[in-house]
Structure 1
């Protein structure tokens, strides 16, 4: 009996390139062609997981939205079998490419890194030199503690912080705090931008093998926007459709598009992506250089989308307003509690 593949400990695809995963899933045509799927743990069969649990496991493993990854691979986001195949492919790729970064071993009694095998074979002199070199490089190793060596018995900083001689500096705690702040800075907006950038890279490679963000043109970008528009869920009814002016999907054959507001925000995010890639903020029509998202044809495309949906009586979604009287009642209720 062949044992199932299980996700290796501490392996992850967060921050890794997911294009190989999307390509591999795109090449799979038969959702039932794989007899035994890879698992996140040995006791949890992927075949028995619900679609919601599968997509959550994909997001925990990759840091990306599983539904969007399925759309990029050209698969139906509502197909549970392909969602499980996505998790299967992610686990296989994580076991191959998602290993955690290595860390130096530390001898808790000596307070420095252990000597390498080559150092031990070369003898005590080489080992001693290796330990001295390791002590000098200790400040750059994030997972260790180091001693503050000072000729004075006490150091007082400008803010009043006092450091006693021989007091240890907890770099593990400092690094943990830095990681905590970095995690907070990675908001949902930046994650959406990263997903959009991955989608653009994927599409440009399908469009032309030599097409990248650095040489993408406004026409290439317009093709990308039309391609993304096919994944929309907003019904845009035609003038002669009986469902015109309603939000119902109905039984008509009217297309489903991205909302005009979504397209406008997407173009803004694309402009920021190109700017961060070094292509500036503006597009020069004479030299055909600069930021393609700022080109006139892209602005005209957004305007046409807005006019089309306005003619179809598509009403933009708005947050429900909350008035001062409700706020006062809520505040009064909290005070009474």
Structure 2
């Protein structure tokens, strides 16, 4: 009979998605051999229900009873808990390694001889000293090369003040007069024009109008305008009829909740059999806007209010500024994100 699996050092499921574990346990048969253990000298078969609950919460950060309900194995609660803990330990060994650690690292390395550890530490310190010395040498060589160069400071003609004579300066051979800087026989165009005739205002304005028309035709601008129209209609329908210049953080939160009717994300409860699944089901669970959509809507509203002179910050003391940046609106966004995270709803990747 093979030895029982033991939880590897520093492996945990805290912060990991345990929904794949629920799928693996759901419908799976009990292990044929001994159950996986948290420690070598602590068999899972002898653990009590309270000990298993504590161990599972320390391992995954989740409630053992709630996960057992999601699995649907409630015929024999104690055996179901042992089975779930067994598969959780195996799943933690597979995906629960800490960042930067090789998954093939064995916990038996804990008993490594002290002399071997000291030898490794000494080699590491020696390597660090070699890298620092190499960096210092490179810096000294670069400084020597810079000192060896002969720098020549060139002063543009328009910065020579009284010694600058525009009549004696050479003009570049182009369609319009532009002053140039002379350095020996090499001439470079200057960045300043000294005649108003060379400025093509018509071309500049045409370029600005072209950029403005491109911005107005973009999809993002059209969506922002549509949102602004919908937002103004919502404000007019409120009893106190606020305007863009008098809207409060509570009005922003009311508008976000009102837009939940356009949502396509269903928030399932812990006891719902469709928890963690995408799409709309006939289970009666609430349908709301996705947390990412709420965040994007708040950003668009903030840009709209900024264009109307509300700024980009919120002053809590005077209750003035941009209400989208207020703690109340930020707290609403966090609550939506936490609610959907508990419902095992993962954000769609781009």
Structures share fold, TM-score greater than 0.5: no
Larger Cα-atom Rg = 2
Q: TM-score, normalised by structure 2?
A: 0.40
Q: TM-score, normalised by structure 1?
A: 0.42
